[in-house]
Amino acid sequence: MYLRPFDPWKSKLCTCPPKYSINPYTGCVHGCLYCYASSYIKNFFHLREKSNIIECLKREIKKIPPNSLISLCNTSDPYPPVEIIKKTTRKCLEILKENNMKVLIITKSDILLRDIDLLKEMHSCVTVTITTLKHYKKLEPNAPTPIQRLRVLDSLSKEGISTGIRLDPIIPMLNEEEIETILMAAKESGVKHVIASTFKPRWDSWRRISLAFPDIALKIEKLYFKEGTKLANAWYLPENLRKEFMIRVSDICRKLSLTFSSCREGFPEFNSSPSCDGSHLIPDKSSSQEQVSILF
Ligand code: SF4
């Protein structure tokens, strides 16, 4: 099955509303050093197409209620360069549109701009991940630049499509001093909502970060591996430090009149929006979202 309930393991730290998830591609070529999906998907940085995804989606979509929330994607980017030729994500969107679904897109790519015509006609919102304006060449070597991503947000906002940013991950001493600048740039690009999360390394992402930023890794390894906590194969910063980061982002958001939520940090009390994932920004159509829950 390609269309699956999101978070089937029901992580205690996940505050997402009930939703489905689909990844048109397996793997991702952006090569972000902090990527966690590479720890559980083999050859993750080698992109593969999914066989028969369009035919399967056409069948699977009939099994869920109309107006369900579908997130695209949670473990890869729906707009890799090959999407320009393949148009697999676009074809998926067309099916979702025909079946009246709500769509939440998460991307770093400006290829999405090609699909503005569809997104405008759908019940959609887009969140773009921006983690740094300075270190992107090392940190996200093959992804579109943050300036391109800000342009995406600006164009979408001008077309009336609701947008948010994912400030995810915040890495101590690496991008933390950029938090305010990033949020101000996002605000100028018409963003309404901010989702923040701290870096939660697994062994492979830690190795990549340590190789690219050895001085910083040396300074923060104690925070993770001596003072932090291990949860489901990932290391977390000490709770007080994670809380400090979330308060910092939330305070800036308040000043900038942006709504805020944290992702998998365990501090939902700081959230100032009805949903943590930005799905509240999707124009509402009916109340049938509650029907999704019967399938979980
Ligand atoms: S864009 Fe997302 S899925 Fe792709 S490499 Fe970066 S973090 Fe991983």
Ligand 1 atom at minimal distance to the Cα of residue 143? 1
Choose among 96, 116, 219, 102: nearest CA to 158.
116
Report the C-alpha gap between 143 and 152 in whole angstroms.
Answer: 13
pLDDT along the chain (296 residues), means of 10: 83 88 96 96 95 96 94 94 98 97 97 97 97 98 98 97 97 98 98 97 97 98 97 95 98 98 93 92 63 44
Q: How far apart are CA 104 and CA 83, in angstroms?
A: 18
Domains and CATH numbers, the chain: 4-283 (3.80.30.30)
β partners of residue 262: 196
Beta strand spans in 76-215 (E): 102-107, 123-129, 162-170, 193-198
Out of 43, 72, 108, 112, give the residue to mutate to test ligand 1, the one with the largest number of ligand atoms within 8 Å of its CB.
Answer: 108
Phi first, then psi, for residue 66 (nearest 5°) are -60, 155
| Residue-level pLDDT at 264 | 92
Q: What is the pLDDT of residue 250?
A: 97
Task: Identify the residue whose tokens are 């800036």.
Answer: 252
Q: Which residues line ligand 1 (CB under 6 A)?
A: 28, 30-32, 35, 37, 76-77, 108, 143
Name which residue sits closest to atom 6 of ligand 1, judged by CA. 32
How much is the pTM?
0.93
Distance CA 294, CA 20 (A): 13
Q: Tell me the angle at which helices 214-225 and 203-212 cross, rounded to the nearest 10 degrees.
A: 150
Residues 28 and 45 sit within 8 Å (Cβ to Cβ): yes
Distance (Å, whole) CA 96 – CA 94:
5
